């Protein structure tokens, strides 16, 4: 790490669970009893993801050597805990919980929750979320326990909650732990310098620190719960169909050998690839001809067969029992699902500022 101040050992990634929630966008009927739960869960996942990304810039300004791991989920005593961002230094470790909340955020001593009030289309909406300070302090205890059970060195661990959205108004009880631990993104660089000055004793060498951070990154366990069970939605209750690659509207119609979007007019012969990816995320890595037709709305068995063959996936069994093995890669094949959201988000921000 000669001349290099920072090394990212594990970059941002989307949990399979977050991707599943993205796939369900536009597919959960608004009248479904779990619709609100779905929207809130999606909002929290996105808030975590975008929040984490927003840390990149202030991190680049840090003038002391450190290693970074993003979005790490570890297991201790059969329980999992997840950390948004960790900074590893020879003197201390820092866990950062990032939140991309907007609106007015109240943090009151003794309530162990945060209250968000925000304007949604001219209406004030109130949401209640778990206390992020409590969350990150809990992560600290878990991490200490985990490091101990792994036989890894346990350094002093610092925690911070960073509110990354520039449109957030923070309102914390004066002189409370909240005021000390919850900061806006604009204060992160100075807060990091402050923490860094506080710890003077080096517990590890730089090489040992790197080994520790690499080990943590290697032990990441992606979160893959059953999204249907978690939300209380049946697979048969969601809207099916091929999503338009251009405007994301559902469903495209298969007509004259291509899919057509009724909203933006986009035509595409291979939009089914996106549909296969979405199927993979929701239902797993195997698909039959019948399932393909059920999911995409393609009526003809031979058309479905052609498309499945063209997708190039391995086929096991023959004729009616044929199963196609979808071998998409979580780290490489799904960026577009969230990148699209991000572009949209930044467009919206650009309009506001």
Residues found near Zn ion in the complex (CB under 5 A): 244, 246-247, 249, 261, 263-264, 266
SS3 211: helix
- Three-state DSSP at 265 gives coil
Query: Closest CB to Zn ion among 153 and 245?
Result: 245
Decide whether 106 or 249 has the Cβ nearer to Zn ion.
249
**Least Cβ distance, residue 346 to Zn ion (angstroms):** 20
Distances (CA, A) of 209 to 205, 274, 276, 297, 309: 6, 41, 42, 53, 48
Backbone angles phi, psi at 15, to 5 degrees: -75, 150
Judged by beta carbon, residue 207 or residue 264, the one nearer Zn ion is: 264
- 1 vs 247, beta carbon nearer Zn ion: 247
Q: Which of 59, 62, 21, 57 is nearest to 39 (CA)?
A: 21
Distance CA 25, CA 6 (A): 36
Rounded Cα distance, 343 and 245, in Å: 14
**CB nearer to Zn ion: pick between 150 and 249:** 249
Shortest approach of Zn ion to residue 142 CB, angstroms? 44
State the minimum distance, in angstroms, from the CB of residue 253 to Zn ion: 11
Work out how close the CB of 83 gets to Zn ion at its nearest, in angstroms, rounded to a whole number. 38
| Dihedral sign from CA coordinates of 63, 67, 70, 73 | negative
Smallest distance, Å, CB 241 to Zn ion?
12
225 Cβ partners below 8 Å, 6+ apart?
17
> Which CB sits closer to Zn ion, 238 or 252?
252
Query: Left if phi > 0, otherwise alpha if psi is -120 to 50, otherwise beta: which for 39?
Result: alpha
Angle subtended at Cα 213 by Cα 210 and Cα 216, rounded to the nearest 5 degrees: 150
User: For residues 95 and 244, which CB has a smaller minimum distance to Zn ion in the complex?
Assistant: 244
Shortest Å, Cβ 116 to Zn ion: 32
* Min dist. Cβ of residue 45 to Zn ion (A): 24
In the block, residue with structure tokens 């296969």: 276
Q: Helix or strand or coil: residue 208?
A: helix
Instruction: State in Å, rounded, how far the first CA of the chain is from the last one.
Output: 39
């Amino acid at each position: 790490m000669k001349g290099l101040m920072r090394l990212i050992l594990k970059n941002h990634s989307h949990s399979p669970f977050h991707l599943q929630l993205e796939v369900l966008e536009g597919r959960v009927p608004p009248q479904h009893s779990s619709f609100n739960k779905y929207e809130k869960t999606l909002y929290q996942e996105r808030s975590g993801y975008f929040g984490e990304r927003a840390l990149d810039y202030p991190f680049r300004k840090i003038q002391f050597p450190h290693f970074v791991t993003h979005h790490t989920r570890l297991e201790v005593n059969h329980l999992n805990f997840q950390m948004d961002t960790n900074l590893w230094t020879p003197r201390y470790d820092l866990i950062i919980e990032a939140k991309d909340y907007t609106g007015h955020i109240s943090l009151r001593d003794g309530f162990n929750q945060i209250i968000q009030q925000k304007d949604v289309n001219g209406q004030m909406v109130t949401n209640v979320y778990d206390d992020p300070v409590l969350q990150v302090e809990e992560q600290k205890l878990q991490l200490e326990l985990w490091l101990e059970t792994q036989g890894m060195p346990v350094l002093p661990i610092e925690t911070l909650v960073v509110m990354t959205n520039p449109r957030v108004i923070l309102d914390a009880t004066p002189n409370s732990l909240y005021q000390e631990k919850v900061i806006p993104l604009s204060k992160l660089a100075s807060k990091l310098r402050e923490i860094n000055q506080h710890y003077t004793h080096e517990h590890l060498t730089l090489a040992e620190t790197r080994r520790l951070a690499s080990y943590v990154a290697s032990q990441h366990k992606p979160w893959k719960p059953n999204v249907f069970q978690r939300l209380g939605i049946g697979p048969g209750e969601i809207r099916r169909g091929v999503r338009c690659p251009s405007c994301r509207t559902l469903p495209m119609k298969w007509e004259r050998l291509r899919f057509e979007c009724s909203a933006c007019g986009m035509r595409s012969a291979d939009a089914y690839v996106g549909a296969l990816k979405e199927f993979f995320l929701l239902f797993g890595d195997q698909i039959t001809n019948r399932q393909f037709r059920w999911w995409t709305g393609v009526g003809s068995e031979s058309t479905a067969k052609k498309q499945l063959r063209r997708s190039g996936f391995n086929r096991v069994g023959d004729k009616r029992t044929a199963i196609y093995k979808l071998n998409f890669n979580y780290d490489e094949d799904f960026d577009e699902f969230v990148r699209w959201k991000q572009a949209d988000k930044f467009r919206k921000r650009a309009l506001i500022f």
